[in-house]
Structure 1
Amino acid sequence: MSAPQEDLPGARPAPFDLTPPATAVLDTEGVVVGWTEGAEELLGYPAAEVLGVPVGNLLAEPLAGAGVRRPGGGAQAGLVTARHRDGRRLSLGVQGSRVSGPAGEERWLVSAVDLGATPWWGVSRSVLERFLTRSPFGMAVVGTDLRYIWINETLERMAGIPREQRLGRRMGEVLPLLDPAAVEAQMRRVLDTGSPVLDFEYHGHTPADPGREHAYSTSFFRLDDAEGRVMGVCSMGVDVTERWRTRERLALLSESGGRIGSTLDIRRTAQELADVAVPRLADFVFVDLLESVLAGEEPAPVPAFGSPPLRRAAQRSLREGCPEAVVSVGELSGYLPTSPIVRSLVEGRAMLEPSLNAADRPWLGNDVLRAESVRAFGLRSLMVVPVRARGVSLGVAVFVRQQREEPFHHEDLRLAEEFVSRAAVCLDNARRYTRERSATLALQHSLLPHALPVTTTLEVASRYLPARGQDGVGGDWFDVIALSGARTALVVGDVVGHGMNAAATMGRLRTAVHTLANMDLPPDELLARLDDLVIRLIEEETSDGGGATATSVLGATCLYAVHDPVTQRCTVARAGHLPPAVVTPEGSVSFPALPAGPPLGLGSMPFEAAELDLVPGSLLVLFTDGLFEARGRDLDASLAVLADALEWPDRSPEQVCDTVLERLGSSPLSDDLALLVARTHALGPDQVVSWDLREDPAVVSEARALVATTLGGWGLDELLFTTELIVSELVTNAIRHAVGPVRLRLIRQSALICEVSDGSSTSPRLRHARTTDEGGRGMFLVAQLARRWGTRYTSTGKIIWSEQTLPSTGPAR
């Protein structure tokens, strides 16, 4: 079908076959070195004005990718827009051929014809063949109604539709699967504006290759006649499927590199792999990993026979909820040994199933559940890629197509193999991190207190939360230590850094605090001794090259508090740590301004202790800075939130811990967190009794009588004999070897405590007396009768104490 021809005003143009083409000669740089009369007649420039001028200066628009290309092959052809000397724009059909110059140099002979001077339907076949038909680009001309007027052989081959079926029809009538709406929208834009559209890319299917999606890059130019009337649109296109697929593959690989492995969580990494592949590569993707991998252990060897224990780690589908999945995330997959999934894992190679037909796939026919899923959801094609990292199989990634008719090709399999191999490294890193984190958590759990001491003077609750991010376990710790005289030490500390070194350093510091606490040192002196220990550790580790351990121990913080239920006071010292919170029974919250002290290991300033008066029923809340880093608030705002959470004094310490963590620790933690909450109680007058004794040996018998009366009133007659012996020895030692004043105190708590204080700083020691010695057996006798005994120093002297187990709690040791 052809359009009717019209006579143009003026002289009727010669037939296209007889129209001499304009010819010019260009060098390899595109400079005009030859100019004919036909070229001067076409563009209006005499030879003197164009010789030595780049040909680009004669064009109205720069050359596009679909136009005349630079020398590099044989003949080249296409369309360009040139500017006449009088300013008019001309649409030219051009063809260039490589020739040799007089001296053998390379030249290009370029011929051009004004396409606007002769209607396309009047062009003879020979010239069309010379300029357009042999072009490597698919070319077509459509009229103003967007119906095809002419196409070349290249476009005919590209689409797979004969020319006679396209002429006179619109694109949507012959190529409905090639996005005709978008293409015709570009044509109308060119018709309306006159501005060309270059390199417009669209995708779809053609009869030439119906099973595969193709991509085309096309440029559109408007055709005007000599009078400026719009004649139609010329399009030039090329199949860029390979370039498009390569670009898509590179984009997918780039996206996978940025999205997969954002965390060190195995399941999250597997889910990221599935999320990247849907819908870019597949319609349904699932990742199954070995159970040992999900547990963070070394991958178990894959058995040569049977089905390995694979568990679903992640899945993603175009359908919401993944209804085509036979198992859910976290469940065992349960494949048959003959399935390609098991064979891919055992053999360590990728497998492609272009068609999922139960009749052609015996393994699928024997798997009733999966065969039913294939039929119900129209699963068409399958790829299985083993997840391998560092030569070890971790599991498999399975890709399924169901909505797209195009099956998987080998190039899809190569793409899946490439980005699964990248994801496998991330999965293995996550597995290694999980293993290290589990080991560190186990180490830290073994180093933290498993059970807090049960006393009648303190109700204690604690919480420890490790960091949930890539930082992992840190070095925060807490402790509750029973001291002599019914006192209790409360400790929190924080070691710099994370991981195994931080956990090990925390264990060393906690052990050191326990040892120093058993020496009954005051809080400030205990921190001073601990600081000396840290300095020695730093020196030792630095000299041995242990920089990581030295870094974790340097700058560690600690808060040490001792609660005395008799005096109802708490003595606190801190080494660079946050102060505790004190809550009165009425609900008033305060953060005492205690002397800060430097972090451990600096050795620059002394430590100071302060005393807090805690009435019975008060709450003492100790914490590490991880509590405030949970939500990213500044310190003042976090303290205000903590104070608000502590304003309800009628709750138990366990409930207080839950409330605090709900307010401040519910978001993912960037640092580990330790929290210790203690409610104080006092010892009543019926539990403590004391006497001031004269410095006279005769007072020993009086002391025994006082003890006998007190124990009788407490109902502890079973301990009378041993207690009298202990009191006799301790009082005698104080009168003989020390200076006054001498004071005797009995405390009935979880044990019977006997204390004798004097003004001397000399401590008795346990020794074995010889048979000829008259003395020296006193402290040995005390050690045999008491559960434990010791000495603690005060600002005025010392106290010798002993503890005996109450009859209700078991026999004395």
Structure 2
Amino acid sequence: MSQPSPIAALDEQGTVVAWSRTAQRLTGLTEAEALGRGVSDLLATGAEALTEALRAGLTIGSLAGGDLRRWGVWPSGDSAVRARPAVDAAFTQSPIGLHLIGDDLRILRVNKAACAMRGLPEDGILGGSVQEAFARYEPAVVERVVREVLATGEPVLDLLVRGTSPADPEHEHALAISLFRLENTDTRTMSVVAEAVDVTPRERNRERLALLHRAHEHIGRSLDAVRCAWELVEVAVPDLAGAAFVALFDAAVQSTAPSDLPGLRCVAASTDGEDMPAVGAALAPELFARILTGRVPYVEHLAAGGRVLTLPLLVRDTLLGVVRLRQLHPRRPYDEAAVRLVADIAAYTALCIDNAQHYEHAHATALALHGSDPGSLPAGRGAVETAQRYLPTGQGAGAWFDIIPLSGARVALTVGQVHGGGPGATAAMGQLRSATHALAGLDLDPHDLLARLHNTTRRLGAERQAVGDTRKLTATCAYAVHDPVAKRCTVARAGRQSLAVLLPDGTWNDRPLPETSPLGEDGPPFAAEEFFFPPGTTVVLLSGPDPAGSDTLRRLRAGLGDQAAAADDVLGRLPADQAAVLLALTRALDPGDVVTWDIDPELTAVAAARRLTTGRLARWGLNDLEFAAELTVSELVTNAIRHGTPPIRLRLVRNPTARTLTCEISDASPAAPHLRHARAGDEGGRGLFISGELSDSWGVRWSSEGKTVWTETAFGT
């Protein structure tokens, strides 16, 4: 510390050798009158002035410097010496732990607060080294910082060190130490002052807030109950416990399980052995009787030492499970504050698990309304190879997609989405999907199917409005029918739904059809387009439009162009802005699996049709189907000759992938045949009945050229 200049200076004989203006003002003696005179002479000639000066307060102290010993005189009101009592008072009365450390790193002075922090007497600290004084509080760190302050003069504020003291060895304490250097008048280093404050409560609160924040950031990132339990364990160990496990009741893990199931199972654990159960182990609820009855946290003391904290995972008075933590070390016991912190984290985890339960329930509901697991949908039965991604909850609550096998080895591909969200959209999706299936069974052209689905949408919307739902029901839908025999695909769409085609030569078309009004909205009739799709063409159907700023179609195009990338890998890279994505790679049926004959409109041609059929089945190795196919062809050809209009054609289609045989009889009459129940005496009327009994399915489809009656029969391996 720099010493202020004295107002006067005296040599060893008491002669005045320096006299300042301040001394002149206080005594009334000029510098010329004072210099060279002894103290006794001054007292004799200026007693009155000096008396007044003494009343004002003068302090005499030694001046170090040179070979002579001199004395300085200072006014007591602003001298460093007068300030020394205040410094002494600071060391004796300050609640902050003060240490004066010499340049040899030994303790020169400490106050009572510093001694109390350590639980040691003053003489047990004075004269010792810095490492000895801070032996329990990271001494190496403190010594290093003291050396830096001595060397650089840069103060260090709030250096945080942790440790224990003999006064409280059971608990860890935190000290915040601030250090600064003291210098004399010639700037030679003298000492370092270290101020130490016990900030244990502050640091514990800060740590708890940080841990609580980390728990909120880490737990509940995935809507999975078991994952939430693991995230709780990851947060607890090692910051709160040396080991931990979480056990959940079956109802908390299985969204469809009854809420009163007693099963309790360990779903997450930091370690096996000791008192930690293995993951998957069933636990007896009686082990947690206090939780089951009281539903409040409790601490147990282990016989081998340490403590165990057990807490309920409770949400809205429903017990989902329990969490148990084993104490990390005795210096951080499960006190009231620690229990309260863990209880807050456990409550948040229980809420996340409950949210995961609701998500699983909503997911199961959406899948139930969807009608099937997307992974179990038909694969196209040889007409196409498909890959799909489906997000049935959230923004995809009203989305659907389907792959519907049709007669003649054809397949229908459809993707749609009801506008809006929530249970209403999910319910409407289920209704429209069922209607699409029913209309597809009629073998309607795509534009005709969308027109009827549009009417269904408007009728459903009117029913919703009748019960107070003011929102208009609208939906988008794309419907495509691919024929692997003709290698043609007929497509129609309603709304701003994304549709794209990638040809085998790399040609990409993301607007093969113009946009139309959605289902349920006023607008022109839906138009259909027929495309020639060679084998290897990829048809892309999305549940909604590609939004601005999204790169769904760009990623699809890039991924589909990568021959090494599987379709599932491509779908996995897509952003989640589409609830349903359906990819279909078109195939063509081998020409040898299809045969067509023109039939003369004479009844004598029936026998010829039977011979042609049995001969072809023999070449295909389908001898087991000869009887049923021969009788079916005989009846259908007879009906076409009697009731239809030429030209009449017979077509047989073998589908090796789906392992089905299709028999088709076409004529130019639009009149539909009707199934009759002939009486015992009737000579006819049994053709469709016999055909239906001998085949797995049958139906009629219409075209601009007339109608086609078909049957389909499966054959074995």
TM, length-normalised to structure 1: 0.66
2:299 corresponds, among 352, 365, 374, to 352
Answering whether residue 643 of structure 2 is matched by residue 733 of structure 1, we say yes
Distance 1:384 1:718 in 2: 72
1:523 aligns with 2:440: no
Given candidates 371, 379, 404, the residue that maps to 1:480 is: 404
Match among 345, 359, 366 for residue 419 of structure 1: 345
Matched letter for residue 558 of structure 1: A
Matched, 1:383 2:309: yes
Q: Does 1:145 align with 2:53?
A: no
Q: Aligned pair in 2 of structure 1 residues 682, 337: CA closer, same or farther (>3 Å)?
A: same
Compute the displacement of 1:744 (Å): 0.8
Q: Deviations over 1:280-326 (max 9, x none)?
A: 333333322223322235675586xxxx62223253xxxxxx47677
Match 2:216 to one of 257, 265, 268: 257
In 2, the alpha carbon distance for the partners of 1:203 and 1:713 equals: 95
Looking at structure 2, the residues matched to 347 and 279 of structure 1 have their Cα atoms a distance apart, in angstroms, of: 28
Q: Tell me the residue number matched to 1:610.
A: 529
1:638 to 534, 556, 564: 556
Decide which of 688, 692, 700 is 1:783's aligned counterpart.
688
Q: 1:528 to 1:581 in 2, by over 3 A?
A: same
1:25 corresponds in structure 2 to: none
Give the 3-state SS of the residue equivalent to 1:281 in structure 2. coil
Contact between 2:498 and 2:510, CA under 8 Å: does it hold in 1? no
Match of 2:455 in 1: 532
Query: Which amino acid is the alignment partner of residue 266 of structure 2?
Result: R
1:634-658 deviation digits (Å, cap 9, x = unpaired): 4234213213349xxxxxxxxxxx9
Cα deviation for residue 661 of structure 1 reads 0.6
Cross-structure match for 1:687: 595
Instruction: Tell me how many residue pairs correspond in the alignment.
Output: 628
1:113 to partner: Cα distance: 8.3
Residue number in structure 2 paired with 1:495: 417
CA deviation after TM superposition for structure 1 residue 348, in Å: 1.8
Q: How far did 1:799 drift?
A: 1.6
Segments of 5+ residues of structure 2 without an aligned counterpart are 1-5, 12-21, 27-75, 618-625, 654-659
Match 1:744 to one of 628, 641, 648: 648
Change (3 A) 1:117 1:357: same
Question: Take 2:119 and 2:177, find their aligned partners in 1: how far apart are those partners?
Answer: 17
- 1:210 aligned partner: 169
| Identity score, percent | 28
- Residue pairs, 1:544-693, within 5 angstroms: 544-546=467-469, 554-563=474-483, 565=485, 567-575=486-494, 576-579=496-499, 581=501, 594-598=512-516, 599-614=518-533, 618=536, 621=539, 623-624=541-542, 633-645=551-563, 659-665=566-572, 671-682=579-590, 684=592, 687-691=595-599
Distance 1:297 1:449, change over 3 A: closer
State the distance in 1 between where 2:570 and 2:698 align.
44
Q: Partner of 1:66 in structure 2?
A: none
1:725 Cα deviation after fit: 5.0
Describe the shift of the 1:336–1:254 C-alpha distance in structure 2 as closer, same or farther (beyond 3 A): closer
Q: Distance in 2 between matches of 1:592 and 1:421?
A: 50
**Structure 1 residue 523: deviation in Å?**
1.7
For residue 170 of structure 2, give the secondary structure of its aligned residue in structure 1. coil
Q: After TM superposition, give the deviation of residue 152 of structure 1 in Å.
A: 2.0
Residue 665 (structure 2) aligns with? 755
Residue 275 (structure 1) shift: 2.6
Distance 1:472 1:662 in 2: 21
Task: State how far apart, in whole Å, the 1-side matches of 2:541 and 2:409 are.
Answer: 21
Indicate if the aligned counterparts of 2:602 and 2:641 stay in contact, CA closer than 8 A. Answer: yes
Shift of 1:161: 0.8
2:432 matched residue in structure 1: 509
Q: Do 2:383 and 2:411's aligned partners in 1 also have CA atoms closer than 8 Å?
A: no
1:541 corresponds in structure 2 to 464
Residues 195 and 10 (structure 1), Cα distance of their counterparts in 2 relative to 1, 3 Å cut: farther
Contact 2:247 2:268 in 1 (8 A): yes
Which letter does structure 1 place at the counterpart of 2:223? L
For 1:75, the equivalent position in structure 2 comes to none
CA gap 1:244/1:709 in 2 versus in 1, 3 angstroms: closer
**Distance in 2 between residues matched to 1:211 and 1:724, nearest whole Å:** 99
- TM-superposed CA distance for 1:409, in Å, is 2.7
Cα distance change, pair 635–293 in 1 and its aligned pair in 2 (3 A): same
Does the aligned pair in 2 maintain the 1:200–1:218 contact within 8 Å? yes
- How far apart, CA to CA, are the structure 1 residues paired with 2:225 and 2:678? 66
Is 2:616 the partner of 1:710? no
Residue 311 to residue 461, structure 1, CA distance change in 2 (3 Å): farther
Q: For the residues of structure 1 that align with 2:426 and 2:636, how far apart are their CA atoms?
A: 43
Q: Could you give the per-residue CA deviations for residues 182-215 of structure 1, whole angstroms, max 9, x where no partner exists?
A: 4444544554555654444433212221121112
Taking the aligned partners of 2:327 and 2:353, their CA distance within structure 1 comes to: 24
Aligned positions of 1:59-74 closer than 5 A: none
Alignment check: 8 A CA contact 2:265 2:281 kept: yes
Counterparts in 2 of 1:296 and 1:686: CA distance versus 1, 3 Å: closer
- What is the CA distance between 1:167 and its match in structure 2? 0.7
Native 8 Å contact 1:745 1:756 kept in 2? yes
Q: Deviations over 1:448-498 (max 9, x none)?
A: 69563996xx35554454449976777232222323xx2523213132577
1:311 alignment partner, one of 266, 282, 291: 266
Counterpart position of 2:281: 332
- Distance in 2 (alpha carbons) for counterparts of 1:396 and 1:627: 46
Report if aligned partners of 2:379, 2:386 keep a CA contact under 8 Å in 1: no
Cα pair 2:362 2:393 within 8 Å, conserved = no
Partner of residue 399 from structure 1, selected from 309, 319, 325: 325
Q: CA deviation at 1:689?
A: 0.6
Give SS of 1:446's match.
coil
Taking the aligned partners of 1:255 and 1:686, their CA distance within structure 2 comes to 66
**1:627–1:674 CA contact under 8 A, matched in 2:** no
* Shift, 1:415, TM fit: 1.8
Q: Taking structure 1 as reference, are residues 528 and 113 closer, same or farther at Cα in structure 2, changes over 3 Å only?
A: farther
Distance across 1 between alignment mates of 2:284 and 2:627: 74
CA–CA distance in structure 2, aligned partners of residues 425 and 203 of structure 1? 35
What code does the residue aligned with 2:412 have?
L
Distance 2:406 2:362 in 1: 34
Measure, in 1, the Cα distance between the counterparts of 2:594 and 2:150: 106
Map Cα deviations across residues 389-433 of structure 1 (whole Å, 9 max, x no partner).
Answer: 111222222223346654333322222112222222122212222
Which aligned pairs between 1:394-473 and structure 2 lie closer than 5 A? 394-402=320-328, 405-446=331-372, 452=378, 458-467=382-391
1:555 and 1:518 map into 2 onto residues whose CA distance is 21
Q: CA–CA distance in 1 between the matches of 2:436 and 2:336?
A: 65
The C-alpha deviation readout for 1:42-65, integer Å capped at 9, x for no partner, is 9x99xxxxxxxxxxxxxxxxxxxx
Deviation of the 1:130 alpha carbon: 4.6
Structural RMSD (CA): 4.5
CA gap of 1:113–1:165, structure 2 versus 1, over 3 A, is: farther
How far is the alpha carbon of 1:766 from its aligned partner? 6.4
Asked if the contact 1:476–1:493 (Cα under 8 Å) also holds between the matched residues in 2, the reply is: yes
Tell me the amino acid that sits aligned with residue 566 of structure 2.
Answer: T
Quote how far apart the aligned CAs of 1:162 are: 0.5
C-alpha distance after superposition, 1:100-151 (max 9, x if no partner): xxxxxxxxxxxx987943797xx6xxx7775541232223322232322222
